[in-house]
């Protein structure tokens, strides 16, 4: 097994202690409204989320950040981080992205010790970078010599696993059902990962209004298991 694959498994591990298990990214709102209440609903939710939110946003930001690292273009990384910050309209989602990114930096920056990871950590401390998760994921994946398509594919997979884990708890679903859902999503993940290799700049940061509204409603739910 190549070491790059091990690095990919490490950075995409759902058990990585960055706090992602604390967030449902609006799914909790959908389940409380009973808009998502069956395996079929979860599959539809995930397909729409991956296609219309993750692809033109986080996955595209990872791809462009990876390219900026290839070109040693630090200013471009700053610009992408700022655009990412502006495009995350719900406060809980924006805060979650920063918290996960900063925690990812605390784990990987001391392990890699490259010039760009040192600059990344310093820029977060000085507030030059907001430190969004997808931006920093792209930086660290690049520095770990993970191929760009593999990194993007791993990110899609990690995102899908996170939502399915939440759905198992919230609806609830059986564990076997959760595994069937991720298996059904694998061809879509492969397809979207290829598309993200060359993002459509005109769609970068595009808003999915329905998901944004449900994420904004989350903070006012009567009871909550998740922070977003």
For 133-180, how does the pLDDT look when each residue is reduced to its tens digit (9 = 90+)?
A: 999 999 999 999 999 999 999 999 999 999 999 999 999 998 999 999
Q: Are 63 and 196 in contact (CB under 8 A)?
A: yes
**Per-residue pLDDT tens digits for 47-94:** 999 999 999 999 999 999 999 999 999 999 999 999 999 999 999 999
Res 1: pLDDT: 60
Average pLDDT, the chain: 94
Bond into 172 cis (ω within 30): yes
Q: Are 68 and 76 in contact (CB under 8 A)?
A: yes
In angstroms, the Cα distances linking 96 to 62, 89, 199, 203, 228 are 17, 12, 24, 22, 7
Neighbours of 122 (CB within 10 A): 12
Query: Which DSSP letter does residue 21 get?
Result: G
Res 2: pLDDT: 85
Sign of CA dihedral 67, 103, 31, 185: positive
CA distance 133 to 145: 18
């Amino acid at each position: 097994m190549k070491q790059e694959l091990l690095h990919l498994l490490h950075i995409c591990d759902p058990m990585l202690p960055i706090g992602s298990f604390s967030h449902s990214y609006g799914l909790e709102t959908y389940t409380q409204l009973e808009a998502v209440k069956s395996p079929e609903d979860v599959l539809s939710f995930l397909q729409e989320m991956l296609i219309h939110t993750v692809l033109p946003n986080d996955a595209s930001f990872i791809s462009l950040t990876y390219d900026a690292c290839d070109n040693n273009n630090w200013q471009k990384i700053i610009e992408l981080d700022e655009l990412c910050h502006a495009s995350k309209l719900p406060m809980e989602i924006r805060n979650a992205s920063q918290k996960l990114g900063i925690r990812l930096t605390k784990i990987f920056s001391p392990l890699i010790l490259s010039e760009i990871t040192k600059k990344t950590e310093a820029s977060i401390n000085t507030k030059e970078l907001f430190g969004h998760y997808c931006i920093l994921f792209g930086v660290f994946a690049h520095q770990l010599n993970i191929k760009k398509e593999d990194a993007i594919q791993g990110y899609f997979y990690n995102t899908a696993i996170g939502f399915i884990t939440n759905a198992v708890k919230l609806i609830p679903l059986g564990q076997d059902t959760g595994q069937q859902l991720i298996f059904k999503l694998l061809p879509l993940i492969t397809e979207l990962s290829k598309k993200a290799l060359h993002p459509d700049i005109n769609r970068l940061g595009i808003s999915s209004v329905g998901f944004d509204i449900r994420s904004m409603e989350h903070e006012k739910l009567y009871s909550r298991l998740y922070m977003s």
